[in-house]
Amino acid sequence: MPGPDTDHVSTRRRRPLTVRTRILATVLVLSTLALAAAGGTAWGLQRIRVDGDIDEALDRTITELRTLAETGVDPDTGRAFRDSDRLLYTMMSREVPATNEGMIAFIRDNVRYQTQDIGVPLALDPELVHAVSDAWQLDRVVIDTLRTSQREYRYAAVPVQVGDSAPGAMLLAFDRDAQQAEVGATFRTYGLVAAGSLLVLAVVAWVLSGRLLRPLRTLRETAEQISVTDLSRRIPVDGTDDLSELARTFNDMLGRLETAFGSQRQLLDDAGHELRTPITIVRGHLELMDPTDEQDATETRALALRELDRMHRLADDLVLLARSEAPDFVRTEPTDVGTLLDNVLDQARQLGNRRWRVTTRAEAVVDVDPERVTQALLQLAANAVKFSDDGSTIRLGSRLEDDCLTLWVEDEGIGIPPEQQDRVFERFAQVTGPQRRPAGGSGLGLSIVAAIAANHGGRVVVASAPGKGSRFTLVLPAPGAQPALIPDDEIVVDPDEVAAEGAGQDGTR
């Protein structure tokens, strides 16, 4: 019974031919068939032409014999022929056979005249002589083909009788094999040339197919070198044909896979890093909790619930960041920017006791994802509340300029040191320093904002100074949008300010 090694060897032996080999075989088979068909057709047509030339020569000689019989004169008497023998003799003496042609004259069944030292010696082929010896009995000219042990003939048998003289016949014949030999020689040469052409074609096809299939080989080699931990390999592409497009598509696929695996690893790393802290806190307090102490149990329960809520928010933020790598994370649609800012303002008012104001509002319709942009602005508003004092002012605004839509949130909070502004959009980044406040967040909010902006093809920028507040601005592409700016006085929507300034001012924009 064959074992695994035998099966492996047989599998390797049954390995299918490579694409390059199959292309070469296909080209050679089709070219061989084409050359054979063309050569065979030409060979057949050429043989037919040679037979036609033979028949034409036979017809011409027959015509000459008839003309001589009807209008010719006997050279000896100067009168019309009165004897079949004299007519055949005169015709034989006047006609010079071609190289592969021969002539015989019969009187009844006997050979009377034959060509000497010129053309084909027909009289020396007894099979031919026997086959046509009764031609004098025919009532018409016969043109036919006859094969003997010596050669194949294409002949014409012409019965001759002048007056009451003894009847006779003239046999005109061509050596058909000899006549067709030139055709055979020509097409043997054609065969050699065709074989040489196929050899050259094989070499050229092998080289060209190798060049054409090089992207596929590179693709295979790249695919063999790809692993879960290394998706950075790419196929070099320098053409514009279909295979080059395939290589580009494969590179794009590798890029998407690398991004997806990177997001997955980042998600796992982030989750493992950030979830470890609340789990450790809960575990530590549970281990130290006195079950008999009601106050201690109540405090530990409250702490555990807070940490669980924190883990829940962290998980939601991590999942959202992972989804931000998907191509359908942002779904743009024509959106009224003014209405969107109003909705953000209405929701932001619930985040904290601040003076909420709109400084400038763009009235235009822009292709954005209203849900994601609202989410980003509310995250910025929540950060502004977190890092500012009660009663301080938070300003929102929007503007269209240079084919871009800018939306911003500005606070009067603690600000961000210049050396830390470049890293605030990194995952789990927290502001450090003497003015730092306990944030209580996951450190993913600004990362989510940056992801939303990037998926729109835009960016988010920060301008901040310690002790003076920060301004975060979303810059989103808005090609072709026409701005219709409506500058308003600072609009107060804080309820206490509304009461102080008079009823009816709330929500005026």
- For residues 439-457, average pLDDT: 81
Using the predicted structure, report yes or no on whether residue 85 has a pLDDT greater than 60. yes
What tokens does 143 get?
């043109």
**Residue 461 or residue 307, greater confidence:** 461
Angle between helices 370-386 and 445-455 (to 10 degrees): 150
User: Which pTM does this prediction carry?
Assistant: 0.49
Output 457-466 pairs: Cβ under 8 A, ≥24 positions apart: 458/404, 460/376, 460/425, 462/416, 462/421, 462/424, 464/415, 464/416, 464/421, 465/415, 466/414, 466/415, 466/416, 466/417, 466/433, 466/435
Is the torsion defined by CA of 185, 187, 190, 195 positive or negative? Answer: negative
**Mean predicted lDDT score pLDDT of the chain:** 82
* Predicted confidence band of residue 493 (pLDDT cuts 50, 70, 90): very low
Using the predicted structure, report yes or no on whether residue 330 has a pLDDT greater than 80. yes
**Residue 482 or residue 80, greater confidence:** 80
The whole-angstrom separation of Cα 309 and Cα 313 is 6
pLDDT digits (tens, 9 = 90+) for 113-127: 888 778 889 989 999
Using the predicted structure, report yes or no on whether residue 433 has a pLDDT greater than 80. no
Please give the pLDDT value at position 14.
60
What tokens does 88 get?
């055949």
The whole-angstrom separation of Cα 456 and Cα 282 is 40
Please give the pLDDT value at position 294.
85
Lowest mean pLDDT segment, chosen from 42-51, 282-291, 328-337, 445-454: 282-291
Please give the pLDDT value at position 496.
47
**Of the candidates 349, 359, 361, the residue with the CA atom closest to the CA atom of residue 491:** 359
Domains observed in the chain: 31-182 (3.30.450), 242-323 (1.10.287), 333-501 (3.30.565.10)
- For residues 81-96, average pLDDT: 88
The whole-angstrom separation of Cα 153 and Cα 55 is 12
The whole-angstrom separation of Cα 165 and Cα 161 is 7
**Residue 283 or residue 101, greater confidence:** 101
Please give the pLDDT value at position 484.
61
Lowest mean pLDDT segment, chosen from 35-44, 121-130, 206-215, 348-357: 206-215
Distance from the Cα of residue 205 to its chain's centroid: 21
Lowest mean pLDDT segment, chosen from 120-129, 152-161, 262-271, 309-318: 262-271
Alpha helices in 324-421 (DSSP H): 337-348, 370-386
- Other Cβ atoms within 10 Å of 499 Cβ, number: 11
**Residue 437 or residue 110, greater confidence:** 110
Using the predicted structure, report yes or no on whether residue 405 has a pLDDT greater than 90. yes
**Residue 493 or residue 60, greater confidence:** 60
Quick one: what percent of the chain has pLDDT higher than 70?
85
Using the predicted structure, report yes or no on whether residue 44 has a pLDDT greater than 80. yes
The whole-angstrom separation of Cα 191 and Cα 36 is 9
